[in-house]
Amino acid sequence: MKTTVKFSLILLLGLSAASCNLEKKAFKSFEVAEYQYVISLYEKVLKKDPEDAEANYFIAESYRLSNRLHQALPYYEKAIANGMENDSIGLFYAFALKVQGNYDEAEKQLDKFLKESENEKYLARAEEEFNNLDFLEELKTKKNYFKVKNLEAVNSGAAEYSPVYNDGKLFFTSSRGDNKIYLGSGTPFTNIYSADTRGARVKSESIRALNEVINSPITNEGSVTFSPDGKTMVFAKGNSGKRKGTADVNLYITRNRNGVWTEPRMLNINNPGYWDSSPAFSRNGKTLYFASNRPGGYGGTDIYSARQNARGRFFKVKNLGPEINTSGNEMFPYISDDGHMYFSSDGHPGFGALDLFVARRVNGQITLENLGEPVNSNADDFGIHLFKADRGFFTSNREGGKGDDDIYTFVNEDPDLKVVNYFLEGVTMTPGNDGNLSILPNVRVELRDYKGEVLDETTTRDDGKFLFRVYEHEHYNLIGEKVGGNDQYLVTREQFTTVGKAVDRTTLTKLVTDIKFDTLLVLEKIEKDKIFVLDNIYYDLDKSDIREDAAIELDKLVVILNDNPELKIELSSHTDDRQTDAYNLNLSERRAKSAVKYIISQGVSGDRLVARGYGESKLLIPNAKTEEEHQVNRRTEFKILEIGQKRTTTTSPDEFDEDRYFDDEEDSGEN
């Protein structure tokens, strides 16, 4: 009897120790995102005790965190039924219900979570999702003309996603093949593939993995994007956990030289240790959009942009803000030829997991539209790409596919679909000594909206030309600043508007119409003692008060002074000769001082301003006879007195140096 008890005790202790070791191993694997391995470990626990709350919970979380939320539902249910409680389980249980299409129960669980939880972070997400469910009926009745079809020529039993069309080829990411198993998902590591295609007619026999310069058997290669000329590729790569820089996902860049892709390099806009992925070039190639879970965002993953300067460097990383990003996840941006941004989100009102949205500028504001069914479903729908204005590809793991994620094609058969692209085309110029305009190259030109936000920027080349996309019913400012060279030029801004210039779409017969507006941006050379006449500075008779119409013109001078902080000027007032010299001199001095006082009131330092009245001593038209001639003499001018140090545009140390990474010298192997 004693022997039996002793043996049973030893067996019990052994089982307890084994269970403890298993849980330690599972928790350690969970921390390093080996989710499929966690699932396999806890499945052993469930074989012995199917009701184990902790095992069910960690299996559910592992499915969720490896983008398989649709498989997590029964495990969340078991975990909750057996007493599992924490800050988030009720929220993610509701998400799992929504992905299964059980919207009513998802709403009940969200309501319960909102009443019981005290975690502010998760409460905000739950409230957002609870409100989103109110839009479902409206989304379900939304009329559209999309038709979708599984792209069977590409899809396999594995995952295929993020299709991109470039120069007659379809590029996509897939877990097909015999790569090693990625412990995060239990499937092979993904590679990037290409296939010859004409539109959506893919030649399946041409499908090939990109070579080993791009793909690695022990690293996940992800979404790709190409510059407009197809010569630069940016793609996501990571998840191996084996080498520095690949513990998570980062963006890499490579160039195609003579048909061969160069050794990829990490972009310096990556945030080490965080997820930076799903890149997309703008249509002019000067902006890179991507998704990241770096600190400082609005939720899980947010969409960011980075500018590319004249030397090919990426910098000015910017979060796109709450108009696009939510407390959920936004990712897979794509910029279409008509300048709209498509992206996927589980934070905006949608059908289940990730839904596809389009963001448009309308009257200077961003508007969002859920693309609706059948493009969206209660599964993950993401990675859209248009190869024509009315057709393209996207990715979904909806029921009825061939594998995990599948690539689908779509066509928009809306009979009223008319795409109008508006562009502002201009030339940077400067007046010569003879008064004639000549081209001024190397001018950085910014396009800003009425709020002052920079929408786009470029640096002109030898032809002085610039081109920006603009939108209907908006006011803009163009700001030009000369870059480099020995001579200095005034930073100049010109207003432009598309208000009242939109075409009537009902009169159009083509699917796509391009409209171009022309403009000149003239930069004046900065020279000491150079005089500029201010137009339309009028005063009431014998008075020096600043009238409203004069204030408008003086505001333009304020802008010039703010844009050119290195200048010190003399502001002078002149009269006609229809009073005594003494009277006119006194009047002009009072008017000059009044103008300077007004400019100071607008925030310009008085140290930069000198008021001077000249009376009638500098008539432009002596012996003036007509009122028009007298008005020419009654003028206000400013003269450049001093030219300080010209401001310079600084370069962020984190910018990508194209010259460094793509020179003709032998690769040094440095990052």
Q: pLDDT tens, 61-109?
A: 999 998 899 899 999 999 999 999 888 999 999 999 999 999 999 999 9
- Same domain (yes/no): 430, 457: yes
Beta strands in 199-301 (DSSP E): 201-202, 208-209, 220-226, 232-238, 249-257, 260-261, 265-266, 276-281, 287-292
Q: Which residues contact 448 (CB under 8 A, 6 or more apart)?
A: 454, 455, 476, 477, 478, 479
- Same domain (yes/no): 565, 469: no
Convert the pLDDT of each residue in 123-181 to its tens digit.
989 999 999 998 998 899 888 899 999 999 999 999 999 999 998 999 999 999 888 88
The 3-state DSSP class for residue 547 equals coil
Count of CB atoms situated within 10 Å of the CB of 470:
23
- Same domain (yes/no): 255, 381: yes
Q: Which residues contact 310 (CB under 8 A, 6 or more apart)?
A: 444, 458, 459, 483
CB 251 within 8 Å of CB 267: yes
pLDDT-based confidence at residue 19 (cuts at 50, 70, 90): low
CA distance from start to end of the chain: 70
CB 292 within 8 Å of CB 269: no
- Reading the block at residue 532, the tokens are 């500029």
- Same domain (yes/no): 226, 300: yes
Which pairing describes strands 341-345 and 330-335: parallel, antiparallel, or unpaired?
Answer: antiparallel
Say if residue 47 is exposed, middle or buried (CB neighbours under 10 Å; 0-12, 13-18, 19+). Answer: exposed
In a domain, 6, yes or no: no
- Reading the block at residue 505, the tokens are 């779409």
The CATH number covering residue 199 comes to 2.120.10.30
- Same domain (yes/no): 431, 389: no
Using the 3D structure, point to which of 472, 497, 522 is the last residue of a domain.
Answer: 522
Q: What's the pTM value of the predicted model, to 2 decimals?
A: 0.84
- Same domain (yes/no): 183, 324: yes
CB 331 within 8 Å of CB 384: no
In a domain, 617, yes or no: yes
pLDDT: which is higher, 203 or 627: 203
CB 408 within 8 Å of CB 379: no
- Same domain (yes/no): 466, 511: yes
In a domain, 327, yes or no: yes
Q: Which of 350-364, 582-596, 646-660 has the lowest mean pLDDT?
A: 646-660
pLDDT at 270: 93
Say if residue 119 is exposed, middle or buried (CB neighbours under 10 Å; 0-12, 13-18, 19+). Answer: middle
Q: Which amino acid, one-letter code, is at 642?
A: E
- Same domain (yes/no): 406, 492: no
pLDDT at 346: 94
Using the 3D structure, point to which of 412, 439, 460 is the last residue of a domain.
Answer: 412
Which pairing describes strands 160-166 and 169-174: parallel, antiparallel, or unpaired?
Answer: antiparallel
CB 283 within 8 Å of CB 341: no
Which residues form the domain of 401?
146-412
In a domain, 16, yes or no: no
Quote the CA–CA distance of 247 and 240 in Å, as a whole number: 6
Convert the pLDDT of each residue in 404-438 to its tens digit.
899 999 999 999 999 999 999 999 999 988 889 99
pLDDT at 239: 65
- Same domain (yes/no): 333, 268: yes
The CATH number covering residue 106 comes to 1.25.40.10
CA dihedral 96, 323, 343, 224 (to 10 degrees): -120
Q: What share of the chain is helix, strand, coil (3-state, %, to 5)?
A: 25, 35, 40
Convert the pLDDT of each residue in 42-59 to its tens digit.
999 999 999 999 999 999
pLDDT: which is higher, 649 or 149: 149
Quote the CA–CA distance of 590 and 83 in Å, as a whole number: 84
Quote the CA–CA distance of 455 and 449 in Å, as a whole number: 7
In a domain, 10, yes or no: no
In a domain, 479, yes or no: yes
Using the 3D structure, point to which of 412, 437, 461 is the last residue of a domain.
Answer: 412
Q: Which amino acid, one-letter code, is at 146?
A: F
Q: Does 293 score more than 80 pLDDT?
A: yes
* Mean of all residue pLDDT scores within the chain: 88
In a domain, 206, yes or no: yes
Q: Does 602 score more than 80 pLDDT?
A: yes
